[in-house]
Structure 1
Amino acid sequence: MSVSWNVGISSLGLTEYVDSNDVLTRWALLQLTVEGGYDPFPVPAPGSVQVIWGSNGVDGTEPDPMLYAFSGGTRLLPDGGRYYADGFYTVRITGEFPGGLQVLRLVDLFVTVSSDTGVERTGTGRIDGMVGGSGGDTLMGAGGDDYIDGAERSDLLVGSNGNDTLFGGLDGGLDTLLGGAGNDLLDAYDGHDHLSGGTGNDSAHGGAGNDGLLGQDGDDLLEGGSGDDRLVGGLGNDMLYGDHVSPFLGVTYGNDTILGNEGNDALYGGEGFDKLDGGAGDDYLWADEDDDTLIGGDGNDTMHGREGHDRLTGGAGSDAFNGESGNDTFYSDLDGRQDLFYLNDPGAGADHIARFEAGIDKIDMWFAKGVGATFVTSASAVAGGGVWVIYDRASGMLSVDMNGTGAGESYDMALLYGRPTLTAADIMGL
């Protein structure tokens, strides 16, 4: 007895656009289900697959050569004598597609197998994976969790619905990866690429090259990799890394633009001259090396300039500024909310503080805590040993004398714009 399955386009649910003279490899997933109990039958021989190509689905003839083959989904019977169908089968189709940009549809999947009994079997099909070829491909998923690999050249990969995996390829092409709905993984690898996660909690990796990454909705992870990248988190609580690659790869770090937009975001600039903008929400910004620009935006933000001469701007909310090494500039907001300014180690550079609100904001000088430091408003008031914190109201310069003698142990720590009326109460630990 012969039993046949005929799986139409509605169950496959995918249309692919294939560039001229390109080789496309695709898989259709066929599920064979036995109703009414255990029923063994031999492994199917290669079946027939009807392929229609052309702009309207009817012109042209079948591309030549084409390869059709079934694989997977089988296992031995206990006696080792025969095989029987077990779950899923994979259909692999490879061929040359001539004549410009065409529409390729797998419209009919027809499988014939032999059975000892006349039990009912049902078949369902969907596209599970696609691999492009040597040309510039446009590969589009639909419903379901798809794997799409652009392979060579500059490709457009669209995951659409489902939790999709999109891979741009290793050849350095200019790829566009669009995840669509679902929790997607996008990896462009080489080249100057554009990645957009769409709705869902997505993970996007730009790799080498000057990339643009957009998280859109959801809690996203964006990694620009080497090159001059632009990262935009969009809605949700996102984590954005401008340069997040192995130090053993010998890559060149880039000058990145990283935008958190809405949500409570974490932005990491890495090496290079970076711009980090947290946008609305309570954000964490970490710049690392070189001269960077950090903008917290609205919300209670924490900013680390790390090395270099950095510019940190807080915006509305209670913000924490830490330039670390270098001569950094801090811009707070006159909003009546307490901001906290962490100063460098003595001798590591003098920072600039703009819009300091005396009696509200605080300055943290960790080295003056717990040592009995004394606050004075003139260097001439320093008398004897110990640690002295000196604020010159005439110039707005805040300095420290670590031994009370000024001999090799006196350092400028911060210049306060506008020369506010600073007191010991404005400095933590005094």
Structure 2
Amino acid sequence: MSDPHPGPRPRLDPVPNPHPHPHPRPSLDPAPNPNPNPNPNPGTGPGPVPARPSGSPPDSPSPRIEFAELLEAEFGRRWPGRSVGLDAVHRYAMIPPGKLLRPLLVLHAALTVGGELGAVLPAAVGIEGAHVGSLLHDDIIDRDTQRRGRAAVHTEFGPAQAVVAGNALFFSWFAALSECGRLGVPADRVERAMAVQAEAGVAICRGAFDELAMRGDLELGVGAYVAMARAKTAVLLAAACRVGAILGGGDAPTTELLGDFGDHLGICFQIRDDVLPYDPIAARAMGKPSDSDVRNRRPTLPVLIAHRRADPQEPRGAAPRPAGRDRTGARPVPDPRRAGADRSPGHRARDGRRPRLQGPRTPHPSARHRPRRPRPRLGAPHPSGVLSRHGSTRSPRGVPARDDLPEA
């Protein structure tokens, strides 16, 4: 079977393995000279830099950055700029990428057990495609029009096109495993990884379905929330670790340990994602509407905790508001009556009154015994005119009334 994505593959040799195998094979090459400096007196003249002491790790770029660049290059090879049709929708959804957490877990898990980076790279690309495909469907369900700081796929191409594109990315997740087999991964490993992915895919759909059934349920316990978060988010991260370890040749205990790590990491990731909308700085960098969870009545952990600790006298159903939103979910409108409240104490507002900064309103001592002039009621007849909106009277023709004339 030929490569479904022809084109030059990115070079893999510059990427160092940050997880060397615990029992590396001995090298048959002669050991290098620990001091290759030809200058007998290295401190007295120019010469090559002395060699690094034996056993110290070499300087290298961050594996996180190297792997991210490698994945981005593979995305560009599979979905080039000249893509049309379905491939054009996939390129828009995949490039530029997000955090790349799931494909990075696949690569690191494989390297941890001594696997080859090039052989598991298609599986890393496939799991990122499955994740992005779920986001395409989530945006339609939640009616979110933005994703990663720009128009969502269903906004840019249409809801029907987004559904079909998401389905195709799910199938590409499994097609990627066949690519790993062509790159030298044994067939039994591919079969085991296929079973893990299939089980995870069903669990993810079940978690999304349960979340829809939990909408608006503020009596939901934390245990039910954790179970939903595990099925919705953590299952895919655990599958990424297990698939990487299986394809890399890891044994069963190591694969299960890595899977447990991905499970715990996924639950923590979901809790942190639920908290981000309530952080003003993080909410602006989310790239999607910060009020999506509240607007869709999603039972997030901050809402459940706030409901449990709320005062029973407060209105039922009150929930913490995302950053920059009022009780209705809209951005608050400045109150003109509070204009100037943050100015200096000696500053007067435009209407001549001092702004009240804090504390109760106390009358001035000189005004305590000042007699108040009765003001006419709204709608009462007045001999000189009609009542203005400030409580004074003006003539219908614009002539100042008696109350508006200056005192002699």
- TM beyond 0.5: no
Looking at secondary structure, tell me which structure has more strand per residue. Answer: 1
Larger radius of gyration: 2
Looking at secondary structure, tell me which structure has more helix per residue. Answer: 2
**Length-normalised TM-score, structure 2:** 0.22
**Length-normalised TM-score, structure 1:** 0.22
Which structure has the higher relative contact order (CA within 8 Å, separation 6+)?
A: 2
